[in-house]
Amino acid sequence: MLSTETLKPSEVKIGIFGLGFVGLPLALSYAIRGCQVIGVDVDQNLVNELNRGVTHHLEKYHDTPIQEVLAEQLHNGRFRATTDAREAMSQCRYFIMTVGIPVVEGNHDFSHIESCSRAISSGLKKGDLVLVRSTLVPGMTRGFIMPILEETGLKAGEDFYLAYSSERIAEGKAFDEFENMPSLVSGINETSAEEARRLMSIVTKELHLATSIEVVESSKVMENISRDVNIAMVNEFARFCEALDIDVFEVIRLANTHKRVKLLTPGPGVGGYCIPNALHYLTPKADELGVPLKLLRTARKINNDIPVFVASLVTKNLPVPASEAKVAVLGIAMKDYSSDDRLSPALEVIRLMQMSGIKVSAFDPAVPSNYDFKVESLEEAVRDAHAVVVLAKQDGIGYNNFRLFRQLMSKAGTPVIVDTKNLYNRSEVEKHGFILKAI
């Protein structure tokens, strides 16, 4: 019989597998509400850092930085991290999977999902709930994860519960969106869905029950692809407006006064774990089913090629030959106000500029990754540069410090600012003696 009772957080023990951009704030969201959470990750350095209270994430719970939330939950003992899956499996009843499927040049790496499923399987007990929140190729919960879990001899839906809920958070808004973004959930059977609903209700206010796991898996991938397609569209509009010499951002702002139009914003490309990978999560199943996905593949290619356009916009506007030029890049994160540079289009723009002989110095105080082109200050970035290229917005970068730019940048020819973020006002930039090129 279905139980509609709510769970008492203080009685809930959860093992969360994967402590990345999704897993860590999700684990803390449960801990804040009184649950006991053991976070499991295979990355020993990450686990050590988290147990010391260190994270590079930029999330905030209301106004409290994630670092303070983490410190408090470690201190009160409601959260700790481990690499030992058996510890979590023996102590908890609820398990949430948040590990990903990396895609490198179109090739999927399913090994994280497989090893995580095996780790859960090795300690699965009667009555446990496994809730998958990773973004998957539709069909994988039932066709890939469930068989591994059932190698225990336990049957999904009878001996243990198996459910799927897509993760819809945006990095930087995770705590708020775990709570306030409506979430979809489904189970291998009705009781699994209900178990998942009760667990999710501790954090999430609005849940929509779907008739099958495949509906939720597909919806997630399609939500992300829809953004990919819409971004490709506005980037085509940007190319058109540039050729016509009109401001694409003005066009978009005015077009959006139409009540049924909602154009997105063009930029230097599409990055991060979610949107660039989304099509690749649909194609294996679409190929199997013989569905061509022509528009979606074209949109992906358009977005993939934007860095080529940005790099050539820089190269052709430099006051000196590329082989003698230095370019200052401001912002390398995959999106504004993020520390995440996975699949960041900025990295591709930098690679392409370097290939044409340009020396690049990039400044981004929020991104912790190390690169040989990365510098620690705006001064270092712009010193002797012939161009400034803005690829992501971050706090702590003096984008409008024209005086510093003029003082430190090369005096060979007129310096250029390439703006992919609609940051600058043309007349102001020109008043300070720069050429402005905006996408």
Ligand X SMILES: NC(=O)c1ccc[n+]([C@@H]2O[C@H](COP(=O)([O-])OP(=O)(O)OC[C@H]3O[C@@H](n4cnc5c(N)ncnc54)[C@H](O)[C@@H]3O)[C@@H](O)[C@H]2O)c1
Q: Which residues bind ligand X (CB under 6 A)?
A: 17-23, 40-43, 46, 98-100, 112, 115-116, 119, 134-135, 167, 169-171, 273-274
For the CB of residue 190, give the shortest distance to ligand X in the complex, in Å: 26
Pure H helices in 15-154 = 23-32, 44-51, 66-75, 85-91, 111-121, 140, 146-150
For the CB of residue 410, give the shortest distance to ligand X in the complex, in Å: 38
Closer of 170 and 404 to ligand X (Cβ): 170
For the CB of residue 206, give the shortest distance to ligand X in the complex, in Å: 17
Q: Are strands 129-132 and 161-164 parallel, antiparallel or unpaired?
A: parallel
What the block records as the tokens of 137 is: 């190729």
The pair phi, psi for residue 361, each rounded to 5°, is -125, 120
Give the distance from CA 5 to its chain's centroid: 34
CA nearest neighbour of 224 among 266, 185, 294, 281 = 281
Closer of 195 and 341 to ligand X (Cβ): 341
For the CB of residue 227, give the shortest distance to ligand X in the complex, in Å: 12
Closer of 166 and 192 to ligand X (Cβ): 166
Tally Cβ neighbours within 10 Å of residue 357. Answer: 12
Closer of 164 and 402 to ligand X (Cβ): 164
Handedness of CA 230, 231, 237, 239 (dihedral sign): negative
For the CB of residue 296, give the shortest distance to ligand X in the complex, in Å: 17
Closer of 167 and 341 to ligand X (Cβ): 167
What the block records as the tokens of 375 is: 């510098």
For the CB of residue 93, give the shortest distance to ligand X in the complex, in Å: 18
Closer of 340 and 348 to ligand X (Cβ): 340
For the CB of residue 26, give the shortest distance to ligand X in the complex, in Å: 9
Q: Are strands 359-363 and 374-375 parallel, antiparallel or unpaired?
A: parallel
For the CB of residue 396, give the shortest distance to ligand X in the complex, in Å: 22
Closer of 99 and 387 to ligand X (Cβ): 99
Give the distance from CA 408 to its chain's centroid: 35
Answer whether 235's CB lies under 8 Å from 251's CB.
no
What the block records as the tokens of 235 is: 């980037």
Burial of 387 (0-12, 13-18, 19+ CB in 10 A): buried
**Residue indicated by tokens 């994967």:** 18
Answer whether 217's CB lies under 8 Å from 234's CB.
no
CA nearest neighbour of 280 among 100, 103, 47 = 103
Minimal CB distance residue for ligand X = 20
For the CB of residue 394, give the shortest distance to ligand X in the complex, in Å: 17
Closer of 116 and 325 to ligand X (Cβ): 116
Q: Are strands 36-40 and 60-61 parallel, antiparallel or unpaired?
A: unpaired
Closer of 40 and 234 to ligand X (Cβ): 40
For the CB of residue 91, give the shortest distance to ligand X in the complex, in Å: 16
Pure H helices in 151-293 = 174-180, 190-201, 213-244, 248-255, 275-289
The pair phi, psi for residue 411, each rounded to 5°, is -95, 5
Closer of 18 and 266 to ligand X (Cβ): 18
What the block records as the tokens of 123 is: 């300690």
Closer of 115 and 410 to ligand X (Cβ): 115
Q: How far apart are CA 259 and CA 325, in angstroms?
A: 46
Closer of 89 and 311 to ligand X (Cβ): 89
* Partners of 375 in the β-ladder: 363
Handedness of CA 338, 341, 276, 118 (dihedral sign): negative
For the CB of residue 41, give the shortest distance to ligand X in the complex, in Å: 4
For the CB of residue 362, give the shortest distance to ligand X in the complex, in Å: 22
What does DSSP assign to residue 10? G
